[in-house]
Amino acid sequence: MKDAKSLSLALESIYLSFNKKSLISPDPLQFLLDYPDVEDREIVGMVASSLAYGRVSQILKSVSSVLEPMGNSPRRFLEKGNVKLWRGLFEGFKHRFSDQVDLVDLLSGMKDVIELHGSLDRAMAIALSGDKGTIRGAQGFVEMILKGGSRDRNTLLPRPEGGSACKRLMLYFRWMVRKDQVDPGGWTCLSPEDLLIPLDTHMHRISLAFGFTGRKSGDMRTVEEITGFFRTVRPDDPIRYDFALTRFGIHPDMKIEDLIEISDR
């Protein structure tokens, strides 16, 4: 591994070179950019992040199939809709392990939370109250949404209390809290310094290769260890480099081997 100063400069160079809007596609993040109103964007972000598992082509297809019936304002779609309507609209929906019930429960849960608290942002702020920290706050946020569903579990909503990396939830927080050329932001309940790395197979492989972690298990302990490493570089924005680094492995023209070569220069 490079010394701390050299590594910091290398990471910042990678960020400046690859944290670009032109490199977003193919990524479910691309859907959020079509919604300038944060009240719509937070709903789109929850849908897109919740479905962000499996092959990227199938993820994009599934997200599109959910967002198209919502029209220009997903917020209005939730406010005016109901479970009976959504069951008809999304009859036969399937995304890997997630089915129509999971999707309708997610929509119903978001509708209830928004009616009660005004927005998902405000609900997360309430879940964070009492200095609970990001992980416990995230658990409370998930529980709020689950209450509006028909069952107490949902494949679209990971529970942080189980110790899993909760990649999709951490990805959602990144999109909604950070604001730069890539992440659209809009939320005020968290600051970038509070965020945890969305640990997917690409970031895990990169982190092992560069010594950010030695842990082979992709769980929340590994998330905290990798985030802790990045916090030594950018305590104000520890997941600043997530998008740029994970382009190597996600974008079809960029391989992790290319990242290793760039970092060795």
Please give the structure tokens belonging to residue 130.
């009492």
Compute mean pLDDT per 10 residues along the chain, 265 residues long, and list them: 73 94 95 98 99 95 98 97 96 96 98 98 94 89 92 90 93 98 98 97 91 94 97 96 87 64 57
CA–centroid distance for 231 within its chain: 19
Q: What is the pLDDT of residue 248?
A: 81
Instruction: Return the C-alpha torsion angle 233, 202, 55, 154, nearest 10.
Output: -60
Cβ distance 20 to 181 under 8 Å?
Answer: yes
List of residues 6+ apart from 15 with CB closer than 8 A? 240, 241, 244
- CA angle, corner 35, sides to 31 and 41, nearest 5? 80
Q: Is the dihedral of CA 65, 69, 70, 72 positive or negative?
A: positive
- Residue 202 phi, psi (nearest 5): -70, -50
Cβ distance 105 to 149 under 8 Å?
Answer: yes
H runs (alpha helix) in 129-196: 134-146, 167-177
Nearest to 118 by CA among 187, 190, 36, 35: 187
Q: What is the pLDDT of residue 69?
A: 96
Please give the radius of gyration of the chain, using alpha carbons only, rounded to the nearest integer.
18
Instruction: Kindly report the pTM of this predicted structure.
Output: 0.93
3-class SS at 99?
strand
Q: What is the pLDDT of residue 41?
A: 99
- Helix (H) or strand (E) segment spanning residue 94: strand 94-95
